[in-house]
Structure 1
């Protein structure tokens, strides 16, 4: 089994432990949606699509497991490091790249490393396009407009 598939299996098992059906469905849709968007963005930008997808699969897992978004990006990076180490799916360098992206993904107004930006952008695409009836958040508007230009939308 490929390592991305193994990680998705692990994450899905964790999400399936969520007792609230609506929250569980929302979590699954978001993590898989951001994962797909991250893969596409990474391919376009010449980044490693597998690492981008892995970061996306883990980026909000801490929030879903605890029910809290309080400092979820930083706590999520710690959780991701624990999971990746436990599963032995990535090298130390790959783990650092993934955890950095998760750590910074909530800082939408700051520019960080290319992989960090990939995850931020994938998260914004999913936030903005998953439910078109919702207004775009102020801190995501500029990033979403740039993404629309980048992808010719």
Structure 2
């Protein structure tokens, strides 16, 4: 049985603060993709969905002359590093198992290699690869995927459904 659900994670004030920057719609959509991909790949769906939900919580805003500057942001981007730290701290505060918090944090850290001077191709774990692919599936040019809107109540409804599906997948794995 899971200690912390996606809805628990989403409702926390820290998650609310940082998902406002990166986009609730994007985070919830990527969590849904991660569940599908995790089941296909034999990856723990709980770890995959939590990692996907939190993968961009390290985003920050970069403005130049009062206007969002995506290119400048990309040049100075360290969101995966900040996100990994925030995700770990958040999950520990929520009472999550320390091993789960560590695995989620690493998946958040390695969901992109845009901040690294080298590529991670072939070096990610299956969990980390699922999160990378789920994020990539929702991306749009110029970061537009971060600006799609989703009402919080709709996000909670979808995340509740994902929680039920994660529980079902865990049950089916235990029975097999």
* TM superposition score normalised by structure 2: 0.60
Task: List gaps (5 residues or longer) in structure 2.
Answer: 63-72, 114-118, 145-176
SS in structure 1 of the partner of residue 23 of structure 2 = helix
Q: Which runs of 5+ in 1 are unaligned?
A: 19-23, 132-153
- 1:43 touches 1:49 (CA, 8 Å); kept in 2? yes
Bigger radius of gyration? 2
How far apart in 1 are the matches of 2:86 and 2:43? Answer: 23
Deviation for aligned residue 1:85: 1.0
Deviation at 1:102, TM superposition (A): 0.5
1:106-125 deviations in Å (ceiling 9; x for gaps): 12752311100010000011
For residues 102 and 2 of structure 1, what CA distance do their matches in structure 2 show? 17
TM-score, normalised to structure 1, is: 0.68
Alignment of 1:94-113 (within 5 A): 94-107=100-113, 110-111=121-122, 112-113=124-125
Map of 2:94 onto structure 1: 87
Post-superposition, which runs of at least 4 consecutive aligned residues in structure 1 deviate over 6 A?
A: none
Show the 5 A alignment for 1:55-66.
55-63=51-59, 66=60
Task: Give the RMSD, CA atoms, in angstroms.
Answer: 2.7
